Each structure stands twice: as structure tokens, then as C-alpha cells.
Structure 1
Amino acid sequence: MTFHNPGYLFLLLLLIPIIYWYIKEMHKADASLQISSLQNLTKFPKSKRIKIRHLPFILRLLTVIFLIVAIARPQSTNSLRNETTEGIDIMIALDISGTMLAEDLKPNRLEASKAVATEFILSRPNDNIGLVIFAAESFTQCPLTTDHDVLINLFKGVQYGMIEDGTAIGLGLANAVNRIKDGKAKSKVIILLTDGSNNRGDIAPVSAAEIAKTFGIRVYAIGVGSHGMVRVPVPTPLGMQYQLMESEFDEQTLKDIANITGGKYFRATDNLKLRNIYQEIDQLEKTKISVREYSKKNEMFYIFALAAFVCLISEILIRNTVLRKIP
């Protein structure tokens, strides 16, 4: 229940001094009589007038309360809300080659990519999302699913060394296309994240992009890596050693992939830019939601007005019958 004029309810505070005044007046009106003992008086029952002597005042309070509530115009609301959601299919193709261990993003490119992608997944609860990983080869880490808890656990398990080292961008993209092409969603998207140039695999990246275009799949290509020299851990017979390498990759190919498929190319040079890229993709690929609302308000003031009238009539009847004072 809601009120159209809720400000009038503050008038109920005026009842506090009225009740205080009534109690004070009742104490003043008490008569006193000196007698030797109360023992015999306890045998006499209280009259009906004594038992209901406060009833008129209570009815008067109820009359005022009901009138104030009626003035505030209480209303009941009947509402109906229909909400329809339509998710999209998203396949993430993640490069896990050795250069993804470079530490220009913190703690490294691979871990930063996993962390930001996890945030992205959690922000898309209605979408089917899957994961393809690639290096010299490619395989599906998780097919399209709405069980994002399982997907995130599989994401956490991704690490360097799961596949032979190398960068097969075309193969990774083609694998992602194969996994998403038969989805039932109207909108299909691949997020391709890499930091290298295609140097392995039998499928050229542009050829994989043409296949994606055939199935109406948009590709958002993200090139990861800062400019200049970066520290990259390299396994050696003496253990893991760091080497300085030039941070470069085939940006033009990634741009071509995005242009062919109607997607967009991004360059992530640090953690913040990578997070902003995923946020922009999230805005570009909004889930469709149709909402229909129906609301009807019913006035209820007449119920409280009627209750006030009944209380007032009852008070008048009691004062002029049972509690009638004879002059």
C-alpha cells in the first residue's frame, strides 16, 4: 500500500500530546474518600461504567487516526512486469604462447588477460560464452555455455605450456568459428586476443576471417603488448631466465580480421587499457531486453473514512447511553 499524500501522516504526531493531556486530566479528576478499611470494598464488582470509561476517548483517537490516513489517500497497486532477455554467443580465442608471459602487463600478459576476461564473463550472465586457446596448435578449453562458474574455473586452469609453443592465429580463429557457427543466437561474436604474428598452422588468419564473415560472425581483435622492449621469461637448461625482447606483432593482420568481419581492432598496452577494451566490447554487444509494464492504482481512502465514521457514531452512542451523565 502506498500513499498519494504521505506528508499528512505527520499529523499523527499530534496524538502524543493529546494522550498525555488525557492521562493528566484523569489523574486530576480522581475523587478521594477517607475510610477505615478497604477489605469490604473488594467484594463489590466494578460497574460497567467504570470498565468502559476510557472507551469514548479511544474511539475518538481512532476516529482522528482513520481520518488522517484517509486524507493521506492510501492506494493499492496492481502491477505486471514481463521481461524477455535474448543472449548472444561469444567465443574467446586466447593466445597462450611464450611471449604472453611478458611482464609489461601485470603480473604478465596471460594472467592479466585471464583476469579481465573473467570480469567480462561475470558481467554477461545471459550469454553463451566459450573459450578456445591456441599457441602452435589450438583446442577448445570450454564450449559455449551459460554455466559461467564452470567456464571461469576452466579459465583459471589455462597456463603456458599446455600446447607446443608458437602462434597459430589463423588456426585459433578457425577453431573458434567452428565452435560458434552453429549457435542458435542471432548475434555471434569472437574476441581474439594475441600478442604475436602468425607463424604456425595451415590456415591463414585472413582466410579464417573470411570464413567467419560467411557465418555472420563479428571478430573483435585485441593486440596485447606495450611499445619498446619488454622482459620475457625464457626456459633454459639453467632454469627460467629473463630476456629483453622487442614488443611487436602483426597489427595489420588483426586490423584486417576486424574489418573483414565487421568487428573492431584494439591495442592494449597496459592492464587499464585492456579492461577498458572489454568494457567497450560489452557496450557494443548489449543483450536485447524487452520490458512491458502495467500498473493500476486503486483508491482505499473510503475504507478509512468509513472506519472513522463508525468510530465517531459509536462514541456518540456510548456517551449518550451507557456513560450518559445526568445533570
Structure 2
Amino acid sequence: MSFTWPAFLWLLLLFPLFIGFLVWAGRRRERTAQAFADARLRALVVRQPPKAHVRWPLALQLLALFLLLLAAARPVASPPLPSNKAAVVLAVDTSRSMLAADLNPSRLEAAKATARKFIELAPATTQIGLVSFSDSASALVMPTTDREKLLEAIDRLKPAQNTSIENAIVTGVRMLPGRKNLRPPAELLPPGLSQPDPLQGIPDLPVPEQSQPSADLPPGSVVILSDGASNVSTNPSLPTRNRLEIAARFAKNANVKLYTFPMGQQGGTVMQIEGRNYYVPFEPRNLEQLAQATGGKNTYPPTEEALRAIVKELGVVIRWEGVKTEISSLLSALAALLMIMGAGLSLRWQRRVP
């Protein structure tokens, strides 16, 4: 226990002085009575209550005084309190293929609308972060309960170039509480690069010599909104399927589940870019495999009902943890209760308030 105003603890020195004064005053009153009254007559005239009837109310009043003096120093304790440790990172695909219009008005706008709806439905205490990814992944908003900040970041999302889902997964996992020092999988680094570059948007991100996820890490989740196509990597020598499997294993080892929302229509579509028609694929199977590999869920289509079910599953993870809390009000309330009890006993036994 600590104290905000420790100087007030000196007031506790008044407590033994007050007790000493009460003892002195009681003895003086007894001596005065003995000096001016006959002992036999006094016993007939003055009825002495049982000692317990005198001491219990006085003890309660003295204990209340002690608690009030202690509360004056504003004590701070760390009692175990329930806390929502749920943390989710929304990873939104901003590659050029997300401009396809098979969803109205486009895949990207549909993904942004889904992300907004997720934020709206999530409990206010759920920490939510935001990642945008195309050729690389950028941590736009670290997990927070500030909904306005998240919504503003979503509104600013703009389309870029290609897609690297594995980068989004690694970035999202390392953004979650307690995981920023995890070493990215070596297989996903460019050939010959022994130390990864710091991830965009995550300041002061050291890479430790070894990264063993703590067993007591709270569960985390990364929600991926993408059309499923992953066509660029920092290590192009690996096939797409292998890269995604490595990223999924990295997430699972960090106690993170992947929840995926495929954005697009079966069969893909054709879109016009700079006067030319291009086929834009839709590959939900990649996203489904990611969810299965980590124990998450793949939701297609992302209806509001399905979204509510996912939010309910991810939104609350209660953990008991010590939280620094000032308890002066609690001590004052307890002191008031003791005073009332002491006064009640005194009224019942002695017909007066001490």
C-alpha cells in the first residue's frame, strides 16, 4: 500500500495521545468521585453499567477515528479487479484489387463499412487496433478504446498496389498487448536479412535475441478483411500457401486467433484499369485456411448477424488483475459505519451517544 499524501500519517500520532487522555480523564473522574462521595452511598445512587457496555461503543468510535486519520493520507492499494483484456486488430486490405465493384460500391468500401460496424458493436472496453496492408503492412492505430480515432483512420484508408496477407498477420500479432517483441518468422524475411526492419507504425520496436510467448498472455485476435489474394512477399522464393501457413503458425504460437471476412463475389470480377480490362480474382479459400489453422472463424458473407456473433465471442476476455485504486473513500465509509454502530450500541445500553 502507498499513500498520496504520506505526510498526513503523522496525524496517527494523535491516536495514542487521545487514548491516553481518555484513560487519564476516566481515572481523574473516579478519584474525584471517591473524594467527594461516600462509596456506599454512591453505589446506591449511581448505577454502574457493565464494563462491556461502555468499552464496545468506545472501541468502535476509536477504530472509526483511526480509519479517518488513515484515509486523510489517501492510501492507494492494488486490489484484484475484473478487467476486460480483449484486444482485436482489424487488418483491412487496401490493395488495388479491392477497388473491384463486385461489392457495392467496391470491395474496399464494403470492408471499411464492415470494420465500422465491428467497432460499433464491440463493447466499449474492448481494445481495437487498425492495420492497413497492401505491398506492406502499416500499423495505423495501436489497440485502443478511442473509437473516434479508429473511425477517422478507417475513413482515411486509400487503395495502394499489391497484397501481402502474411505481413498483415505478423504486424497485427505484434501490435497486440505483450507481443511487440516477438521475432517475425525468419522464413518471411528477405533472403540474407538476419534482422527485420522495424514494422511501420510501431515505434521503438526492438527485436530480442529470442522470443518465447508468455503462457499467461491474454487471448488476442486479428480480424482480416480481404479478397484473399496474396501476390507479393518479402521472400518471393516461397509459394503463397507456405507463406500463409508460416504466418498462421506464428499467430497461433502467440495465442492469437485469426478471424477472416472475405470481401468479394464467387468467381471474381473484371475491372477496368487505365483503359484496360483485368480479371480480379476472389480467393476466400486462403482466408478460410488461415482461420482454421489458428482456431478462428471464417465468415462469408459478413452479415450483421454473423458480425454480432463474432463480436460477442471476441469482445470480452475478463482477467483479474491488481489495479491501483485510492481507497480513502472506502475507509471513510467504513469509519462512518463503525460510528453508527457505536452510537447505536451506546443508545441501547446507556441511553446516550458517546
Normalising to structure 1: TM-score of the pair?
0.54
Residue pairs, 1:145-294, within 5 angstroms? 145-161=144-160, 165-180=161-176, 182=178, 186-202=218-234, 204-234=243-273, 236=274, 241=275, 243=277, 245=279, 247-249=281-283, 251-268=284-301, 273-287=302-316
Q: How many residues align?
A: 195
1:142-172 per-residue CA deviation (whole Å, 9 max, x = no partner) reads: 11111111111011100113xxx11101111
Matched to 1:228, the amino acid is: G
- Overall identity of the aligned pairs, in %: 25
CA displacement at 1:232 relative to structure 2: 2.5
Pick the structure with greater CA Rg: 1
Deviations 1:201-254 (A, max 9, x none): 2361211111111111011122211123534342x2xxxx473635431x3332
Provide the rounded CA distance (Å) in 1 between the counterparts of 2:145 and 2:217.
12
1:122 aligns with 2:124: no
Higher strand share: 1
Cα-to-partner distance string for 1:18-60 (whole Å, 9 max, x where unaligned): xxxxxxxxxxxxxxxxxxxxxxxxxxxxxxxxxxxxxxxxxxx
AA of the residue aligned to 1:245: Y
For 1:245, what is the secondary structure of its paired residue?
strand
Cα root mean square deviation, aligned: 2.5
Is the contact between residue 271 and residue 277 of structure 2 (CA under 8 Å) also seen in structure 1? yes
Gaps in structure 1 of 5+ consecutive residues: 1-82, 291-327
Change (3 A) 1:223 1:121: same
Output the CA distance in 2 between the equivalents of 1:156 and 1:102.
Answer: 18
Q: Please identify, of 178-187 and 110-119, the stretch whose mean Cα deviation from structure 2 is larger.
A: 178-187
Matched letter for residue 279 of structure 2 = M
- Other-structure match for 1:94: 92
> Shift of the alpha carbon at 1:265?
1.6
Superposed displacement of residue 267, structure 1: 2.6
Gap regions ≥5 residues in structure 2? 1-80, 180-215, 236-242, 320-354
Q: Decide whether aligned partners of structure 1 residues 229 and 188 sit closer, same or farther in structure 2, where only a CA change above 3 A counts.
A: closer
> Any residues of structure 2 matched to 1:298-317 within 5 Å, and which?
none
Residues in 2 aligned to 1:233 and 1:276: alpha-carbon distance in whole angstroms: 33
Alpha-carbon offset, residue 280 of structure 1:
2.5
SS in structure 2 of the partner of residue 90 of structure 1: strand
> Does the 8 A contact of 2:270 with 2:280 survive in 1?
no
Preserved contact between residue 93 and residue 163 of structure 2 (Cα < 8 Å):
yes
Secondary structure of the residue aligned to 1:232 is strand
Give, in whole Å, the separation in 2 of the partners of 1:174 and 1:104.
29
Which amino acid letter does the alignment assign opposite residue 123 of structure 1? L
- Mapped partners of 2:142, 2:313: distance in 1: 23
Kept after mapping to 2: 8 A contact 1:101/1:233: no
Q: How many angstroms does 1:193 deviate by? A: 1.6
